[in-house]
Amino acid sequence: MRTPLAFRPDSPPPQHHRRGPPMNDNTRAVRAGIALAPLLLTTLLTGCEQGGSSGGHDGHDHGPPGASSDEVSLTAGQVKAAGIKTAAVGSGLVTERLRLTAVVQENLDTQAHLTPKVPGLVRSVRKHLGDQVKKGDVLCELESTVLGEATSVYMEGRAMLASTRGVLEQETALLTSSVTLAQRIFERENRLKEQAITTMRPFYEAEKALAQARLNRDSRILELRREIRQQEIKLHTAEERLRILGLTAEDLKKLEADEEHGHGRYPLRAPRAGVVAARDITANEYVDTSSKLFLIQDLSRVWVIASVYEGDLARVRRGQTALVRLEAFRGVTLRGQVTFIDYRVDAASRACKVRIELPNEPIKGWEEPFPLRPGMFGTVELVLAEKKAAVTIPESAIVHEGEQNYVFVALEAKQEGKDDGKGHDDHEGHDDHEGHDDHKGHDDEKGHDDHDESPRHRYVRRAVQIGAKGGDIVEVTQGLKAGEQVVVEGTFTLKSTARQGELGGGHSH
């Protein structure tokens, strides 16, 4: 009597293997299929040999060694042990996608490196790493002799301008009074001349004095105005220099009232709102115009940079929908659009950078502001196209073998009966044979299930042609029709069983 494979006494004891790394679901399924296939094949072949010993072999087609075994039949117990599951073929929407690796990066268009406009000594530091700032906030204050000299020029210019304007006002009043007096004398001499009371000489002298007074007044006013204009230009130049150095209009108004400020106190202000991402400054430190003191980043919007190989580059377009998934936030999908495709391809990786811009909004489960942090790793799926396909199947149903693709199609179950094989009738006389007692325990052996009378599940291997692919759904353009059942789990076992027949087993179960 043949001992079932699981209970052979000469089988080697089980080996203790070193624990390996954790396995995901796909790895467990593949390893389970690998472990199950030999046992399933051995059971099938054992059943065939037992049937052959009785003089018949109903339900099994023996072909020549190396014959193709496109059809496989299994019992219900074997199907359950192999974990075989099927799904119906039907129509569906195929969303063609391109999966890329990606990393979060700060928006380079909204960051600012801050360096002082003048060298000086750091007197105070008001903002620190991680602080949120608004535009115009003072980050630190320096004391600078350069700024002090520029401030002195400005203050001197403003004082000179104010003085000259005062001189102009006073001299204009004085010269105007002289013209008025000369005008009165001229008018009196003119009346006397008309009455013939005086000679013409006093009249001409009064007329000349009036003209001279007007000339003196106008020339002096013109000179003072020219001087004021020059001083205004100098003052404007000094003011613009202070503005370039970072002083605001409010700072300029305080110069006269704040003597300490007027002697070179320089406030370094934030040019935009954001977060202090870097700070390299301490109190009482001397810095110059090349020192990078702060880095301000506006993290309200960030970039996601994906890498696409040049072979797929022609499929990428600006405006395509991008689905972003980050390792830090499992189960969260962020939706954006492709905003920029780099003009360069990396010489080493042969990949091109693709940019997706996302708003940095709060994410449920993490209450920290600006959850999308530069450096986070993830994936991007670009939606290339959407297509309504007449025949679609799960991608897990496809078996890839070289350049050919095929599936296992479930056929109608077939009933296995005893009456079709004459060899089974020969067992009626077994009571007269010696050694018949050896068959008494067959009903209790698990290996005997291979010849039960339950319907056998049949699967046929069929080549298919694949069209559009979209995630886990694949379009089939040839080889299947709607309504058929295809195997979506356990294809490895069926492939191994069919391969056994091709390699010389000659069985098509």
Domain regions of the chain by residue span: 5-96+390-508, 97-109+297-386, 145-263
H and E: helices and strands count for the chain: 7, 23
Q: 451: how many CB neighbours lie within 10 A of its CB?
A: 19
Contact yes or no for 374/342 (Cβ under 8 A) = no
292: burial class by Cβ within 10 Å (0-12, 13-18, 19+)?
middle
The percent of residues above 90 in pLDDT, for the chain, comes to 45
Distance CA 78, CA 416 (A): 15
Q: Which amino acid is present at 428?
A: E
Residue 402's pLDDT band (cuts 50, 70, 90): confident
Residue 414's pLDDT band (cuts 50, 70, 90): low
Average pLDDT over residues 342-363: 95
Instruction: Supply 331's token pair.
Output: 């189960």
Q: What is the mean pLDDT of the chain?
A: 79
Q: Which helix (H) or strand (E) holds 200?
A: helix 200-244
For the entire predicted model, the pTM comes to 0.57
Distances (CA, A) of 239 to 147, 234, 253: 12, 9, 11
Question: What's the chain's Rg over C-alpha atoms?
Answer: 49
Beta bridge pairs of residue 111: 297
More confident residue, 221 or 246: 221
Distance CA 399, CA 489 (A): 11
pLDDT for the residue 251: 79
Instruction: Supply 17's token pair.
Output: 């293997």
More confident residue, 486 or 448: 486
**What's the CATH fold of domain 97-109+297-386?**
Elongation Factor Tu (Ef-tu); domain 3 (2.40.30)
Backbone angles phi, psi at 335, to 5 degrees: -110, 130
Tell me whether domains 5-96+390-508 and 97-109+297-386 share a fold: no
Residue 381 above 60 pLDDT?
yes
pLDDT for the residue 413: 65
Q: How far is CA 41 from the centre of its chain?
A: 48
The percent of residues above 70 in pLDDT, for the chain, comes to 75
Q: Which helix (H) or strand (E) holds 401?
A: strand 399-401
Backbone angles phi, psi at 71, to 5 degrees: -115, 135
Distance CA 446, CA 116 (A): 86
pLDDT for the residue 451: 52
pLDDT digits (tens, 9 = 90+) for 447-465: 444 455 567 888 999 999 9
Backbone angles phi, psi at 129, to 5 degrees: -60, 130
Average pLDDT over residues 177-185: 92
pLDDT digits (tens, 9 = 90+) for 299-351: 999 999 999 999 999 999 999 999 999 999 999 999 999 999 999 999 999 99
Instruction: Supply 149's token pair.
Output: 């000299």
SS3 content of the chain, % helix, strand, coil (to 5): 40, 30, 30
More confident residue, 409 or 62: 409
Residue 25 above 70 pLDDT?
no
pLDDT digits (tens, 9 = 90+) for 229-269: 999 999 999 999 888 887 888 878 777 665 554 568 888 99
Instruction: Supply 496's token pair.
Output: 């191994």
Average pLDDT over residues 107-130: 92
3-state secondary structure of 354: strand
409: burial class by Cβ within 10 Å (0-12, 13-18, 19+)?
buried
User: What is the domain class of 5-96+390-508 according to CATH?
Assistant: mainly beta
pLDDT for the residue 155: 87
Residue 30 above 80 pLDDT?
no
Residue 78's pLDDT band (cuts 50, 70, 90): confident
Residue 31 above 80 pLDDT?
no
pLDDT for the residue 455: 73
Distance CA 213, CA 94 (A): 98
**Per mean pLDDT, which range of 23-37, 145-159, 194-208, 356-370 is the poorest?**
23-37
Distance CA 330, CA 169 (A): 78
410: left (phi over 0), alpha (psi -120 to 50) or beta: beta
3-state secondary structure of 307: strand
**Per mean pLDDT, which range of 62-76, 239-253, 277-291 is the poorest?**
62-76
More confident residue, 55 or 185: 185
pLDDT digits (tens, 9 = 90+) for 86-100: 999 988 888 888 999
Residue 7's pLDDT band (cuts 50, 70, 90): very low
Distance CA 15, CA 239 (A): 88
pLDDT for the residue 70: 80
pLDDT for the residue 71: 85
Give helix 200-244 / helix 145-194 axis angle, nearest 10°: 160
pLDDT for the residue 263: 64
